[in-house]
Structure 1
Amino acid sequence: MNNPLRPAARKSLFSNSWISAILAGHSALGLAFSAAIYLICLTGSVVVFVQELQRWEQPAAPRVLAVAPGAIDLGIAALREKGPEDAAQSVSVTLPSPHNPHLLLSARGREGAGSGSWFADASGHPAMKVRHDVSDFLVRLHVDLHLPFGIGTVIVALAGMALLALVISGVLAHPRILKDAFRLRSGGSVRVGQAGLHNRMGTWGLPFHLIIAFTAAFLGVFIIVFGSVAATTYKGDMFKAFADFAGPVARPAAHASRTGPLPSVGPFIAAATAAAPGLALQSIDIQQPGAKGQLIGIGLRDPRSLFLEERVVYDSKGRKVFASDVTRRPFSQQMIFAIQPIHFGWFGGIFVKLAYGLLGLSMCGITASGFKIWLTRRRDKGRPMPAMERLWTATIWGQPLALALAAIPSLATDAKAAPLLGWAAGTIAAYALACFPTTQLRLGDGLRAATAVALAGLALVHATLSATGGLSGIDPASWAVDATLLLIAFFVARPTLKLRRPNRAT
């Protein structure tokens, strides 16, 4: 008999059938995009530290803390000497910052003449050719999977939207998400334990996951939409489409009119910094240098704001023709400027980057466990898929191995394609091993051990090669990256190093 004094039980916001439908959609979407999401999250966790990786690639590059305007003029003049004066389409100088203490000179020439980037010393003279083969490879793998014709960009954009849908559906499918946040189910079946860990990791990192998923979807959709708008509204004129966000782009001039002198950058720097007090000088670029319609762009950095950059453009006579004025723009446009630093964690120093890296790895763990839950459920129902289990293990541990193998060739060769070939070799080898009828556990242990060896070997060989050039000239960030690689290698190898205790006779 019901007690009239007892309060009625609260009904769930969603019915069981509704929750089951959400879970079914969550599982289907996760299965469709799991491999792409895992690779994108894994590379994204590394790309967060792209500046540190660039310093690791060339630890002997000259360190510069401050640059005078006269040195910038000398550096630009040196750039023009690298190729024919009438071939350069743009020259730029990136000034040192606390996170990247290097003076970088870059030139982009017509048909490749004089193109390239160089590290310069404090006087502005080019000292070393820039080689960022590994970091460039990782960025492209994260952004477009190294696929041509925009195919990779579309796949990454779809994966970003799928990730956002997975985060939202995962929340909707767990009405007790807050109550169960610190209740980790253990002691039951393997599948129940995996599901509990999957749900708890998703709950603990939910704010981060929402931010990353939303910004990933936003960036992917924006790139596609921007290309479509440029092709329609601007009739394919990328100059006009790009000018609305980053300022006008100087049109290519006639061959005979591109040998004129370049103005000194000092007055332009003084005008830009005086108009924006509190902002630090970040870059200078000259478009169509020497031409009558050349444009001088000044980039400013605001370390106190998410909108990290402001840009001012002048003509050769010193007249301001464009100013980004990001903080005065509508909120929708401000979001476009802020979305990239928010997505990659490039706004709060090394501790924010470390948090992004760890939380990014947690997203890899959530993706890996989600697919494994599905495989375990099939095995529990008597419908195992051993081949698929091995292929998924090859994905989870084969990709870290492939990324380590991508960096190793760069220690011995300057070939631009070496990282891509190393990654492809590691990926093919992992999936080839998965084709043999071995156990999933043995395959996973083997790939974990190979990944640990590759990471440790990469760190030790890199440190040895760096030391041969003299310890005094090595960038401290290089030592930090090597130490991090050794630490990661230890944690990867630790489960495989545990020895089983021999059974003692009773």
Structure 2
Amino acid sequence: MTDPLRPAMRKPLFSKGWVSAVLAGHSALGLAFSAAIYLICLTGSVVVFVEELERWEQPTAPKVVSVSPEVIDEGLAALREMGPKDAVRSVSATLPSAANPHFVLSARSGDRLNSGSWFADTSGQPVMKVRHDVSDFLVGLHINLHLPYGIGTVIVGLAGMALLALVISGILAHPRIIKDAFRLRSGGSARLSQADLHNRIGTWGLPFHLIMAFTAAFLGVFLIALGSVAATTYQGDMTKAFSDLTGPSARGAADAPRTDPVPPSASFIAAATEGVPGFTVQSVSIQQPGAKEQRIGIGLHDPRGLPLRESVLYDSKGNKVFGSDVAKRSFAQQVIFAIQPLHFGWFGGGFVKLAYGLLGLSMCSITATGIQIWLTRRRDKGRPAPIMERLWAATIWGQPLALTLAAIPSLATDAEGAPLLGWATGTIAAYALACVPFMQARLAAWLRAATAVALAGLALLHAAIGAAGGLSAVDPMSWAVDAALLLTAFFVARPMLKFRRATVEAPSL
């Protein structure tokens, strides 16, 4: 008989069986995509700072604060003079900004010799070839793992959807998520400490993790869907499939005579900025310059919203051919324009970038501890998986080491494949060590120490090379990145330094 004076026990929202089933699915999904998610989150944490890395790669590039329309025209004309005029399909000028004080000229033609980008001086003359091999490598690794476009994009897209499912299932598998938000058990079993760390980081960063997971899944599905549409409707032409969002291209004029004059950019800039106060000119481009069908594009930057970029396209007579007009588009199309800056943190300056980088590393920590919890649980139950433990240690600390090694060869050579070779060397070496059974207890520590040494060595070597060229000519951002590398090396090595000190100070028996 029920005691009427005893308070009724509240029935839990989810039964234990249901929670166990969700947790099992959460674990299985994590095991399937853990390595890919970890690598994508790790590279994404670095790609947030891609502008800073580009300045770090070429610290002696000429600094330009602002340029006039006349200087833009001089630069675009100089690009056309560098190669056969009829071979140039498009030229563009990216104007300097506070985040990137460089004037960059780019040309695209039928041959690689006359294609590429150059830093220009204050007069608009190209003076240095742009070489962002490390930055481009990291971006490619994050977007498609440097696999063929169809394969790499699908894998990354599936990993994004898996990440979203992991975040949601992690919430559902933890009914006490709010109550346990500040519960951190330390000093007990390793599995409980890891589980608490995994859950607390996941809880504290939950809004960010949801945004990252959603935008990653959205971008993955969008690119997969767009690739399918391009393959079936546009004969595989991704540019044509994007034309509704970015504007049409000047097609059919590749072999046409280039006898028409290229109109000055001042009138087009004035027309594009008229009626849009607060917008700044970001780029000027010309498709099929000198041809009858040439078109002039003006890229505008809007710092007041998430869709940061507007595009306007004109014909050579000044008639408006296309305008992105993001604010006038449907909500779904506005979301497409906003997803990329929201995903990478390119909308709020340095503080937002720093927050994105740290929170991205927290996602790496969640992924690392999630698999470690599963491995520790197996060991506690008498079913250890030593090979998987070594492979996971090679992933967790082998990838930061490999990414650092990807940057080192770029200091000595301009070969485009140097970053890929450095990364592949580090990755293969880490997994080769994981195949050695006696490395079970020390693999993670050795790889962690090697990562700290590589980070510090990269920073010191880069700073020494910059100092040798003259301190006054070096971009201050280069010193900031070197300092960040040294600080990261310190935090990577700090737990080992504490352990070493404790070992040395321990009293002998």
Confirm or deny a common fold (TM above 0.5).
yes
Shift of 1:505: 6.1
State the secondary structure of the residue aligned to 2:442. Answer: helix
Q: Is the 8 A contact 2:273 2:280 kept in 1?
A: yes
Amino acid aligned to 1:171: I
Q: Is the 8 A contact 1:314 1:322 kept in 2?
A: yes
Shift of 1:484: 0.2
Q: Structure 1 stretch 222-231 or stretch 409-418: which is displaced more?
A: 222-231
Query: What TM-score does the superposition give when structure 2 sets the normalisation length?
Result: 0.97
Q: Is the 8 A contact 2:106 2:117 kept in 1?
A: yes
Tell me the equivalent position of 1:248. 248
- Taking the aligned partners of 1:305 and 1:343, their CA distance within structure 2 comes to 14
Q: Does 1:274 align with 2:277?
A: no
Alpha-carbon distance change, 453 to 5 in structure 1, aligned in 2, over 3 angstroms: same
Amino acid aligned to 1:201: I
User: For residues 376-420 of structure 1, what are the alpha-carbon distances to aligned partners after superposition, in whole Å with 9 as ceiling and x for unaligned?
Assistant: 111111111111111110100000000000000000000000000
User: For residues 435-478 of structure 1, what are the alpha-carbon distances to aligned partners after superposition, in whole Å with 9 as ceiling and x for unaligned?
Assistant: 11224341111111111111111000100101111111111110
State the secondary structure of the residue aligned to 2:122. Answer: coil
Tell me the equivalent position of 1:161. 161
Amino acid aligned to 2:68: A
Tell me the equivalent position of 1:70. 70
Query: What TM-score does the superposition give when structure 1 sets the normalisation length?
Result: 0.98
- Taking the aligned partners of 1:302 and 1:455, their CA distance within structure 2 comes to 36
Tell me the equivalent position of 2:116. 116
Q: Structure 1 stretch 294-303 or stretch 147-156: which is displaced more?
A: 147-156
- Taking the aligned partners of 2:185 and 2:508, their CA distance within structure 1 comes to 34
Q: Structure 1 stretch 389-398 or stretch 491-500: which is displaced more?
A: 491-500
State the secondary structure of the residue aligned to 1:255. Answer: coil
Tell me the equivalent position of 2:495. 495
- Aligned pairs for 1:120-269 (under 5 A) are 120-234=120-234, 236=236, 238-269=238-269
User: For residues 166-193 of structure 1, what are the alpha-carbon distances to aligned partners after superposition, in whole Å with 9 as ceiling and x for unaligned?
Assistant: 0000000111100000011233311111
Q: Is the 8 A contact 1:89 1:252 kept in 2?
A: no
- Taking the aligned partners of 1:450 and 1:481, their CA distance within structure 2 comes to 20
Amino acid aligned to 2:87: A
Q: Does 1:504 align with 2:507?
A: yes
- Aligned pairs for 1:319-330 (under 5 A) are 319-330=319-330
Q: Percent identity at matched positions?
A: 74
Alpha-carbon distance change, 433 to 281 in structure 1, aligned in 2, over 3 angstroms: same
Alpha-carbon distance change, 237 to 193 in structure 1, aligned in 2, over 3 angstroms: closer
- Taking the aligned partners of 2:236 and 2:350, their CA distance within structure 1 comes to 40
Tell me the equivalent position of 1:105. 105
Amino acid aligned to 1:6: R
Q: Structure 1 stretch 412-421 or stretch 261-270: which is displaced more?
A: 261-270
- Taking the aligned partners of 1:240 and 1:50, their CA distance within structure 2 comes to 27
- Taking the aligned partners of 1:81 and 1:320, their CA distance within structure 2 comes to 28
Tell me the equivalent position of 2:454. 454
- Aligned pairs for 1:357-368 (under 5 A) are 357-368=357-368
Q: Is the 8 A contact 1:87 1:113 kept in 2?
A: no
- Taking the aligned partners of 1:416 and 1:275, their CA distance within structure 2 comes to 43
Alpha-carbon distance change, 221 to 13 in structure 1, aligned in 2, over 3 angstroms: same
Alpha-carbon distance change, 467 to 239 in structure 1, aligned in 2, over 3 angstroms: closer
Q: Structure 1 stretch 346-355 or stretch 113-122: which is displaced more?
A: 113-122
Q: Is the 8 A contact 1:104 1:117 kept in 2?
A: yes
User: For residues 291-348 of structure 1, what are the alpha-carbon distances to aligned partners after superposition, in whole Å with 9 as ceiling and x for unaligned?
Assistant: 1111100000011111100111000000001111101111100000000000000000
Q: Is the 8 A contact 1:90 1:107 kept in 2?
A: yes
Shift of 1:2: 4.1
Alpha-carbon distance change, 489 to 260 in structure 1, aligned in 2, over 3 angstroms: same
Shift of 1:238: 4.2
Amino acid aligned to 1:317: K
Tell me the equivalent position of 1:371. 371
Tell me the equivalent position of 1:406. 406
- Aligned pairs for 1:277-356 (under 5 A) are 277-356=277-356
Alpha-carbon distance change, 342 to 317 in structure 1, aligned in 2, over 3 angstroms: same
State the secondary structure of the residue aligned to 1:93. Answer: strand
- Taking the aligned partners of 2:217 and 2:364, their CA distance within structure 1 comes to 17
Q: Is the 8 A contact 1:252 1:288 kept in 2?
A: no
- For the aligned residues, what is the CA RMSD? 1.4
Tell me the equivalent position of 1:96. 96
Which runs of 5 or more residues in structure 2 are unaligned? none
Q: Structure 1 stretch 230-239 or stretch 335-344: which is displaced more?
A: 230-239
Amino acid aligned to 2:271: A
Shift of 1:229: 1.9
Shift of 1:239: 4.9
- Taking the aligned partners of 2:480 and 2:506, their CA distance within structure 1 comes to 42
Tell me the equivalent position of 1:434. 434
Total equivalences in the alignment: 506
- Taking the aligned partners of 1:12 and 1:171, their CA distance within structure 2 comes to 15
- Taking the aligned partners of 2:355 and 2:462, their CA distance within structure 1 comes to 26
- Taking the aligned partners of 2:477 and 2:374, their CA distance within structure 1 comes to 41
Q: Is the 8 A contact 2:254 2:288 kept in 1?
A: no
Q: Is the 8 A contact 2:281 2:301 kept in 1?
A: yes
Amino acid aligned to 1:157: G
State the secondary structure of the residue aligned to 2:465. Answer: helix
Shift of 1:365: 0.5
- Taking the aligned partners of 2:275 and 2:429, their CA distance within structure 1 comes to 57
Q: Is the 8 A contact 1:71 1:124 kept in 2?
A: yes
